[in-house]
Amino acid sequence: MDKINKIIYADHSATTYVKDEVLKEMLPYFCDFYGNPSSTYIIGRNSKRAIEIARKKVADAIGAGTDEIYFTSCGTESDNMIIKQIARKNKYRGNHIITSKFEHLAVINSCKDLEKEGFEVTYLDVDSNGFVKIDNLLNSIKDTTILISIMYANNEIGTIQDINTIGNIARMNNIYFHTDAVQAIGNVKIDVKAQNIDALSMSAHKFYGPKGIGAAYINKKINFDSFMSGGHQEKNKRAGTENVANIVGIGKAIELSNKNVYEYNRKLLNLRNLFICKLTEKVPCIRINGSLENRLPGNVNINIQGIDSQVLLLMLDMNGICVSGGSACNSNEKTPSHVLTSIGLNTFEAQNAIRFTFGEENNEQDVIYIVDTLCDIVKKIRMCC
Ligand SMILES: *Cc1c(COP(=O)(O)O)cnc(C)c1O
C-alpha cells in the first residue's frame, strides 16, 4: 500500500469511512456470534435476531414495513434485483419501462439487459439544470408501461429529483415506481408510503456503513421472484447465507444517518458555500455543473476553463487531496460521463469536470486548504484564461 500522510478526503459520493459506532456494533458478529441465522441453536438465533433488529431500523428510516426490506450485497445488486425481477414478473401487464438518461450504470445497464429480453425502455431527457423533465415523463407513459425508475439524487451532480411528483404520476397511472436512493439516504428524509415509492435501493458504504451490503425496499403488493437460486433466506427472495455483521452495520449506519439528517445538511451546506465562495473569488473561469437548488448539500461539480482534469486530479492527489472526475465508477475510462453529457456538456467539458463531495469529517480548514491548493495548481498548469 502507498504510504499515507495527511489526506483530505472530499469524495464521499464514491464511498465513506465506517463510523466507530457502526464498527463497534458489527464486531461481535465476526468471532462471538458467528452462528448461521438459519440454525436453530442459540448462536444461530442470536444472528437471526440481530438481522431482524437491523431490518426494523432500515424499514423505520424510510417508512417501510419490515416485511418489505431485503438485504443484498450492494446498491448495484438492489438496482438489478428490483428492476429486472419486477419487470420479468410483471411482463404480462406490459413490457414498457421508463427511466432517465442520467441514472447510475446499475440502472441503465439493467434496463439494457431487459431490452435484450424484449422490453422497451424509454430513457428520459434531463434538463440543463440536472432534473428529469416531467412533461417528457408524462408524454412517454403508455398502456404497456409497468415500471418507472428515476434516481432520487444524482451521484455526479447531486441534483435531487422531484420524487413526490413522479410518485404521484406513477400512482395515478397504476405504474410501479422505483427510485435509486443510494446517494439520497442520510441527506434527505424519505417516507416511501407518503411519496408513493414502490421500490427503493440503498447501499451502506455511501452513509458511513460497510462496503458490500445494500438493501432493497419492495412494496409487499409487488410480485417478484428471487434473483439468486438457492436456499430460503430473505423470505425466499434472496438466497445465500446472510452477511450478518454487515447487516448489523447497515442497520446502525442508517439509524445514525437518519437521526442526523438536518444537522448534516446544515454542516455540508456551510462547507459547500464556503468552498464556492472562496473558489470563485480566487480562481477565474469556473463553471458549476447542475443546479445549486435541490442538490445534495455536499456536492460541487465544476469545470475550470483551460484545465485538464486528469492533470489536476494527479496534482491534487500529490497534495493529499482525494476528489474525483465525474464519478468513481467512470474514473478509469476515457469515455465522457453520460450524466454530464445528458445535461448538455460537450465531450471535452464532460471529460474535464471535477467532483468534490464533502462529508462528516471535513471542516472549514479542509475547504480552505483545498481551494488554496487548487489555486496554486491552476496558476501552474492553466493553458488559457
Ligand atoms: C454508488 C451508487 C450505486 C452502486 O452502489 P454499490 O453499493 O457501490 O454497488 C448505485 N447507484 C448510485 C446512485 C450510486 O451512487
pLDDT digit string, tens, across residues 122-141: 999 999 999 999 999 999 99
Find out whether 3 and 237 touch, Cβ atoms under 8 Å: no
Ligand 1 pocket mutation, candidates 12, 81, 182, 185, criterion most atoms within 8 A of CB:
182
Task: Pick the residue whose CA is nearest to atom 12 on ligand 1.
Answer: 182
Q: Which of 285, 322, 329, 375 is catalytic?
A: 329
Answer yes or no: do 248 and 276 share one domain: no
pLDDT for the residue numbered 192 = 98
| Averaged pLDDT, groups of 10, the chain, 385 residues long | 79 98 98 96 96 98 98 98 98 98 98 98 97 97 98 98 98 98 98 98 98 98 96 96 98 97 98 97 94 98 94 95 76 78 94 97 97 94 68
Task: Pick the residue whose CA is nearest to atom 3 on ligand 1.
Answer: 75
Q: Which residues line the pocket of ligand 1, CB cutoff 6 A?
A: 74-76, 79, 104, 106, 151, 155, 180, 182-183, 203, 205-206, 214
Q: Give CA–CA dist 132/135, Å, rounded.
A: 9
Closest ligand 1 atom to Cα of 203: 7
If you compute the radius of gyration of the chain from its CA atoms, what whole number of angstroms results?
21
Task: Pick the residue whose CA is nearest to atom 6 on ligand 1.
Answer: 75
Closest ligand 1 atom to Cα of 13: 15
Ligand 1 centroid from CA 64, angstroms: 21
Ligand 1 pocket mutation, candidates 18, 104, 211, criterion most atoms within 8 A of CB:
104
Ligand 1 centroid from CA 203, angstroms: 7
pLDDT for the residue numbered 6 = 82
Answer yes or no: do 183 and 230 share one domain: yes
Q: DSSP strand E in the chain: where? A: 8-9, 69-72, 96-100, 120-124, 145-149, 176-180, 199-203, 214-218, 286-288, 299-304, 321-322, 354-357
pLDDT for the residue numbered 338 = 95
Please indicate whether residue 329 is annotated as part of the active site: yes
pLDDT for the residue numbered 385 = 54
Answer yes or no: do 297 and 359 share one domain: yes
Answer yes or no: do 182 and 204 share one domain: yes
pTM of the model: 0.96
Answer yes or no: do 207 and 73 share one domain: yes
pLDDT for the residue numbered 176 = 98
Task: Pick the residue whose CA is nearest to atom 14 on ligand 1.
Answer: 182
Answer yes or no: do 236 and 363 share one domain: no
Q: Give CA–CA dist 70/53, Å, rounded.
A: 13
Closest ligand 1 atom to Cα of 151: 13
Answer yes or no: do 180 and 326 share one domain: no
- Cell readout for 19 is 463510523
Residue 306: give its domain's CATH number. 3.90.1150.10
Ligand 1 centroid from CA 119, angstroms: 24
Answer yes or no: do 301 and 240 share one domain: no
Ligand 1 pocket mutation, candidates 203, 211, 324, criterion most atoms within 8 A of CB:
203
Answer yes or no: do 344 and 240 share one domain: no
pLDDT for the residue numbered 13 = 98
**By residue range, what is the domain housing residue 316?**
8-17+260-384
pLDDT for the residue numbered 100 = 98
- Of 240, 259, 278, which residue constitutes the final position of a domain? 259
- Cell readout for 163 is 420524487
Answer yes or no: do 215 and 264 share one domain: no
